[in-house]
Amino acid sequence: MADIDSLIQQLDQSGKDVFWQGKASQESIEKLESLLGSRLPVSFKTFLAEYGGGGVVEEEVSGIEDDDPTLEHRGTVYGDTLLCREDYSLPENLVVIYLGADDVVWCLDVSQFDGDECPVVAFDVFSKSTKPLAPTFNDFLAEYLTLRISA
């Protein structure tokens, strides 16, 4: 997480409008897993515990806001996943970690765990297909942060 922490610090100092949802407790993370009916990768749980979710405003990584995993609005993992399951027939094995305003949906594919990690995929809302984005959440997050720091 050290590299991620450094990238987050760089993003915070970049002058961009940045928002973090606040640390999530272990209990909240476990409750989120229960609500979703699946375990989450260790790297994502570490991110939730440290930052809760967030990033550049209007491009935030979904998370647990105010340490409440039951919130169902946009920007929360639970809310974004429920919305996509209802509106786009998102499969049960996908957990939304990013829902862009232009129907961009990036997810954890919790059916493909390799040890404690699973890949991040893009879900196409029209074809209902997925495309690999990153082998782990940490790889995804490092790229997300790097692109926004340099933009």
Q: Are 95 and 36 spatial neighbours (Cβ–Cβ below 8 Å)?
A: yes
CA–CA separation, 64 and 129 (whole Å): 26
Residue with tokens 């209007």: 58
Cβ neighbours for 145, distance < 8 A, ≥ 6 positions apart: 4, 7, 8, 10, 11, 55
What amino acid occupies position 68?
D
What amino acid occupies position 107?
C
What is residue 102's predicted lDDT score, i.e. its pLDDT? 83
Please, what's the b/e burial string for 93-126 (b: 16 or more CB within 10 A of its CB; e: otherwise)? ebbbbbbeeeeebbbbbbeeeeeebbbbbebeee
The SS3 assignment for 78 reads helix
pTM: 0.95
pLDDT tens-digit map of 4-26: 999 999 999 999 999 999 999 99
Domains and CATH numbers, the chain: 2-150 (3.40.1580.10)
pLDDT tens-digit map of 43-57: 999 999 999 999 999
